[in-house]
Structure 1
Amino acid sequence: MKNILKMTLLLFLCINISCKKDLLDQQTPNTLPTDEFWKTEDDAQKGVNAIYHMFYQTGGFSRWMNFRLDLTSDEGFSNSPWVELADWTRFQYINYNFWEGNVNTFRDIYKAVFRCNQVINYVPDIPFADAAKKDQIIAQAKFLRAFWYYYAVVLYDNVAIVEKPLTPEDYPALSTPEQTWAFIVKDLTEASAILPPQYTGVEIGRPTKGAAQALLAKAYMQQRKWNDAKTALDYLVTGAGKSNYDLVDFKENFRATQENNKESVFEIQYSDANKTGEGDGPGSAMGSNRAQFFAPRSIGWSDGQARYWLVNEFKKEKTVGGAIDPRLRYSLFYPALEADFGDKIYGRSWQWNADEAWFKKGSRDYYRDNEDYFNQVNFRVIRYADVLLMYAETLNELNQTADAYQYVNRVRQRSNLAPLATAYPGIGTNKTLFAERLKMERALELCGEGVRWPDLKRWGDLDTQAGVDKVTLRDPDFRNFVVGKHIRLPLPQAEVENNTNIKQNDFY
């Protein structure tokens, strides 16, 4: 951690640490030291924009975060010939300093936190003509800091809370998950009070009040604080923000044709404008690499695949018209896709194994016959269907199961499925049975969208060997899962060795 936190000091586009000048220490004309940069409203805007640039780095959702959230869960796996990479999706962690599996994601989380901290700490002292504009810039930084810490604690459990730009002399200590969740809640609560309900024009894509409330609800749900989660979700479902959101044509959540639509609560803005390498330069790539790594063999790298049990689950229940659940068509590539819906796979008939499937969401098969590193399809981190299903889960946990049905039904109705009580009358108001069915409803609606790993942790399905054994029936990689150990990743070993205030996670 110490090593990466030092590195972040060198990587921010416009800022260097100032030091005493002499003949061998001349200021570069292309950068400004900290005490000369944070002076104007324009500086503040550049500072917050630099945080968003972290979405284009490979350690996050552009590439490796997808491996952590989708492939490590029971929805996906890796059959990559790059054995070390595949091992990191099946709980065989040998080299804790493996760059692609661990260090890159850890580094980019703390680079993002560093940039957030610069805005939060320096912008308050900048004079603004409009104080509300200043407050919104700081609120964006707080949302984004909470965003990255949410994934840090979901992946690692024990991480360092950093609230200010660090110097090389700082050695932050690890915090407990409880402390980090409290920090996330504080940031999101403060951000939500300032962020607007909506943006227009070029500002669309920045976090709104609804995005802050939805992420706040996710943070509370991971702690199983159901009353607090419901209060946060009320804004989007029954409160002042509900008119801003609705469900849209399912496929339009995974294409570039109707981005930032009414179902979008928060999405990462990608672009194929710069077909260059990743990095921090102004001309660096701004696209997603996910489809390139998750596409079928001979189309992309095929380092990530979907578990076939998802195909089978989609086909278990027909629509009210007797058809296959239409979500399958836009969620997965699988052998019978052409026979079932008339769709080829990037223009090809099936040429892969009969028991294979791949994630389709975010692919560009609707107009291309291959993938590359510059996929412009925005990634919907939180969409309204997820919010509705979270609300149903929260109500069920609060023993309001009868009220929870309507929110599941809204999601099912879009796919022309019968109401839940009609399709599964045996559930009734049984809280446990409702929760079990909701797990599958979430998988069918949200598979491959980065929510399954947090779901498994929240549900406690990985807390006991009996729970893991049930998951193993869907994903044989969980035979490697050690209860109490693999619920979290190891910290990069270089960080442990470079910072005497932290120790490696338990059992590593």
Structure 2
Amino acid sequence: MKRICILACIAIAGLTSCKKFLDTKPTDFYTSDNYYGTEAQLQQALNGVYGDLMRPELYAQVMGFNFVSTTDEVMSNRTADGDARGLRYNYDASLVHIAGIWRYAYVGINNINALLDNIDKPAMDASRRNIIKGQALFLRGFLYFILTSNYGDVPLVLHTPAINDVNMPQVKQADMYKQIEKDMKEAEILLKDYTVTQAKFNDVVTLTAVQAMLARVYLYWAGYPQNNTTKYQDVITYTDKVILSGLHALNPDYRQVFINLARDQYDVKENIWELGSLGAAAGVVNKSGNDIGNFVGIQSTVTALDSTSYNAAAWVWVTKKLFDSYEVDPGGVAAPNKASLDIRRDWNCAGYIYTGTNPRVKATRPNPWQMCAGKFRREYVPQAIRNTNGVGGTYNINWPVIRYSDVLLMRAEAENYLNGPANAYNYINQVRKRGYGLMNGNVVKSITMVKLGDGYTQAPAVSITGGGGSGATGTAIVTGGKVNGIYLSNPGALTPGSYYTSSPVVVIGTFWTPGISYAAGMQITNNGMLYTVTTAGTSTNTAPTHTTGASDAAVTGAVFTYAGEAATATATITVGNESDLTPGLNKEAFQQAIRDERMRELCFEAVRKADLIRWGSFVTDMQNFAAWATSNGAGVTSTGNPNGLQGIRNVSARHVMLPKPTYELNLNRLLTQNEGW
């Protein structure tokens, strides 16, 4: 994160008796009277607000975990401690995490108000002042967006309050949206020349970050509970501003988006605004670690002698609904799950965990109900900031507040609502094309067995070569001595020059090569036949042959024994448009497709619950999902997630909004509690 955290040091002022009157103006600590006097102090104050967004009470933990981790895409696997964190809809208004969001959103707002009240104080370049002011206004609007989307009607404070300003009236959500719009639109004007090209990184607010977030504000405003559908036109207006700016584009490899976040490598095209966590400038103290990739991550423990190990609790598991939403190769082999044509599935739904302590072992986790959420992977965090070898450390993964794919999906949804699907297909198909790895060319789609072979005692190696591309990998699935299929684990490298122009060649097994040593037990292929090395030795130029089924002493000091016919397979590559959404959908069917695509693309990014709420279907959808999950094995202790299912069953109408914190209700007598609390 390319920012400096503000440090405040408060000392007690000394008193002297040689003056007739007490000088009440402090000289050895900061107040609004003796601060904000320089551009640097304005910038430091702004930096402090950015830094506080990555507090545990906000995006370092709670905003991406506590109240958004039990929906139809992901469920908590916890019992009592899950209730203590608000994971299973058993919380009440006294829960500390309920108060944390409220408290630190208002702390940020108060600091921004102080900054804005003093923005004209120093003499400085006008363009620099506009950039600081524009970011501050946007952040105030953003914090109010957090508050009103979570708590509904909340107090509106636009200036530094007096010490006795305790009882503050709450403002209707519709009016709060108007204030958010006002702040962000003013920020848009002030930041009109401040783009990611100028900033060079994206963990500060730039012009398109304002425009993208305004589109999200309008989308929420258009939905439940305000249902101001006129705002869909504003969604189109502001998504178009981002799209037509030419500053943003999808990363061709979906997986790389999140690897970059773990490595603090800025992808300013895909991630329009992210919250930075690492710290990079020389001499700048890094921010403390965050829980991104911990509770919502792939299970692992630190192993004493393994420098690649990391710690992650994995307190949530994905749902079978999410897993099944990704398209699979209909002719593929189940191992135990069929390979997906959509590369997002196996990234988001991690089919493995790390077990053991010395050595650490990568163990398969094939049951979708018990798969970890794999989007944010701590294994990609640089070892310099990873907790290894039993030594305390920090994990720093940046949080993607809004991505370009979200802008495209918002554009499709608003277009469909106003005009139907005809012109909306373009936007959703861009996201789907990237999801299938087809943005810039074709990849391997499937591998079909020609001969299953016989006599295999172990899974043979698989290589995929030629066809003008590279990077495709597969794993042989052996049952009953036969290769029953090839599980396509990677369709190919998604970089220029690596896409396939024709079907590559699939080679199953290790082929006999003269002049090398063979160990006993190895299986090799020659002339379409499979052989097992029964006696180790160094090969000669005589290849093993099969005549009678007896052993063939084709190597010096070694014996090859015929095992059976060798397996063979062929590969099929994709056609560039086959990831496109089914054409000819009506308006209702297209809207459902949008809902499904948002889950596939944006899962675990803390938008699913908010989406279900704005669609006005949160409670009904959770009730329907609970019934479906029960019928599809979620309640089975050994293979499902009964703790998460119980959380879903706890959902009621009151969970559409968070309760207002008990402490705030006791302090501010003008607040009223949300319905149901």
Hey, what does 1:457 align to over in structure 2? 613
1:469 correspondence with 2:623: yes
Q: Give 3-state SS (helix, strand or coil) of 2:33's partner.
A: helix
**Does 284-293 or 39-48 show the bigger shift?**
284-293
| 2: CA distance, partners of 1:272 / 1:349 | 34
Pick one of 91, 95, 107 that aligns with 1:98. Answer: 95
Q: Relative to structure 1, is the Cα distance of residues 355 and 78 closer, same or farther in structure 2, using a 3 angstrom cutoff?
A: closer
User: Could you say which residue in structure 2 is the equivalent of 1:277?
Assistant: none
Instruction: Tell me the residue number matched to 2:271.
Output: 264
**Range with greater deviation from structure 2 (140-149 or 411-420):** 411-420
Q: Of residues 451, 459, 478 in structure 1, which corresponds to 2:648?
A: 478
Residue by residue, what CA displacement relative to the aligned partner does 1:133-170 show, whole Å, maximum 9, x if unpaired?
A: 10110100111112222221221112211111223311
Shift of 1:232: 1.1
Paired residue total: 475
Q: Which letter maps to 2:596?
A: M
Query: In structure 2, which of residues 583, 587, 594 is the aligned counterpart of residue 431 of structure 1?
Result: 587
Does the 8 A contact of 1:16 with 1:33 survive in 2?
no
The worse-fitting range, judged by mean Cα deviation, of 23-32 and 295-304 is: 23-32
Aligned-partner SS, 2:94: coil
CA contact (8 A) 2:202 2:271 kept: no
* Structure 2 portions without partners, runs of 5+: 223-230, 302-310, 333-338, 355-359, 439-574, 630-643
Superposed displacement of residue 366, structure 1: 3.9
User: Following the alignment from structure 2 to structure 1, what is the Cα–Cα distance between the partners of residues 159 and 676?
Assistant: 31
Identify if the C-alpha distance between structure 1 residues 235 and 140 changes in structure 2 by more than 3 Å, giving closer, same or farther: same
Contact 1:80–1:86 under 8 Å retained in 2: no
Which one has a larger percent strand, Structure 1 or Structure 2? 2
Matches within 5 A, 1:70-81: 70-81=68-79
Matching of residue 493 in structure 1 with residue 513 in structure 2: no
Distance 2:188 2:425 in 1: 28
More helix by share: 1
Gap runs ≥5 in structure 1: 1-10, 275-281, 339-345
> Which residue matches 2:494?
none
Please give the alpha-carbon distance, in whole angstroms, between the structure 1 residues aligned to 2:413 and 2:239: 11
Q: Which residue of 1 aligns with 2:41?
A: 43
State whether residues 236 and 414 of structure 2, in contact with CA within 8 Å, keep that contact through their aligned partners in structure 1.
yes
SS for the counterpart of 1:245 is coil
- The equivalent of 2:460 in structure 1 is none
Q: Is the Cα–Cα contact under 8 Å of residues 264 and 380 in structure 1 kept in the other structure?
A: yes
Residues 245-277 of structure 1 deviation map (CA, whole Å, 9 limit, x = unaligned): 343421121123442331111111111779xxx
**Quick one: distance in 2 between partners of 1:146 and 1:393?**
24
Amino acid at match of 1:470: N
The CA deviation at 1:471 is 3.9
Question: What secondary structure does 1:349 align onto?
Answer: strand
Cα 1:354/1:470, change in 2 over 3 Å? closer
CA–CA distance in 1 between the matches of 2:11 and 2:29? 10
Alpha carbons of 1:29 and 1:376: their partners in 2 closer, same or farther (altered >3 Å)?
farther
CA distance in 2, matches of 1:121, 1:319: 65
Q: Distance in 2 between matches of 1:443 and 1:506?
A: 28
- The counterpart of 1:228, out of the listed 223, 226, 234, is 234
**CA–CA distance in structure 1, aligned partners of residues 368 and 340 of structure 2:** 22
Match of 1:55 in 2: 53
1:2-401 equivalent positions in 2, closer than 5 A: 13-14=7-8, 31-68=29-66, 70-83=68-81, 85=83, 88-94=86-92, 96-99=93-96, 101-128=97-124, 130-170=125-165, 171-195=167-191, 196-200=194-198, 204-224=202-222, 225-237=231-243, 239=244, 241-256=245-260, 257=263, 258-271=265-278, 285-295=287-297, 296=299, 298=301, 299-316=311-328, 323-335=340-352, 348-350=362-364, 355-366=369-380, 374-401=394-421
CA distance in 2, matches of 1:82, 1:245: 43
Aligned to 1:3: none
Matches of 1:22 and 1:452 in 2, distance apart? 61
- Aligned-partner SS, 1:53: helix
Tell me the equivalent position of 1:4: none
User: For residues 78 and 273 of structure 1, do their structure 2 counterparts lie closer, same or farther at Cα, with a shift above 3 Å needed?
Assistant: farther
Deviation larger for 302-311 or 139-148: 302-311
Bigger shift: residues 365-374 or 79-88: 365-374
Q: C-alpha deviations, 1:347-375, integer Å up to 9, x for none? A: 61236977302222222224689868722
Bigger relative contact order, structure 1 or 2 (CA pairs below 8 A, ≥6 apart): 1
**2:65 is paired with a residue of what secondary structure?**
helix
CA–CA distance in structure 2, aligned partners of residues 466 and 81 of structure 1: 24
Q: Structure 2 CA distance, aligned partners of 1:317 and 1:150? A: 41
Cα deviation code 1:68-123 (max 9, x no counterpart): 453043322222354354562222123x2221x31222211111111221222211
Quick one: which of 601, 618, 635 aligns to 1:445?
601
In 2, distance between residues paired with 1:125 and 1:319?
Answer: 69
State the shift of 1:51 in Å: 0.8
- Distance (whole Å) between structure 2 residues aligned to residue 308 and residue 368 of structure 1: 32
Deviation at 1:215, TM superposition (A): 0.6
Query: 1 CA distance for matches of 2:317 and 2:156?
Result: 34
Name the SS for the 1:254 alignment partner: helix
Aligned AA (2:144): Y
Counterparts of 1:297 and 1:480 in 2: how far apart (Å)? 29
Residue type of the partner of 2:372? W
Give, in whole Å, the separation in 1 of the partners of 2:209 and 2:52. 18
Task: Give the match for residue 279 of structure 1.
Answer: none
TM-score, with normalisation over the residues of structure 2? 0.63
Question: For residues 493 and 419 of structure 1, what CA distance do their matches in structure 2 show?
Answer: 55
- Compared CA separation, residues 35 and 212, structure 1 to 2 (3 A): same
Q: Distance in 2 between matches of 1:466 and 1:32?
A: 52
- Aligned 8 A contact 1:117 1:165 in 2: yes
- 1:402 corresponds to which residue? 422
Give, as a single letter, the amino acid of the residue that structure 2 aligns with 1:232.
Y
AA of the residue aligned to 1:377: I
Counterparts of 2:77 and 2:144 in 1: how far apart (Å)?
A: 30
Contact 1:38 1:123 in 2 (8 A): yes
Worse overlay, 166-175 or 206-215: 166-175
Task: Report if the CA contact (8 A) 1:236-1:242 is conserved.
Answer: yes
Alpha-carbon distance in structure 1 between the residues aligned to 2:170 and 2:11: 25
Partner SS, residue 240 of structure 2:
helix
Distance 2:624 2:79 in 1: 28
- Structure showing greater radius of gyration is 2
Q: What CA RMSD, in Å, does the superposition of the two structures yield over aligned residues? A: 3.6
Q: Deviations over 1:458-496 (max 9, x none)?
A: 21112xx6444334335743322222x110011110110
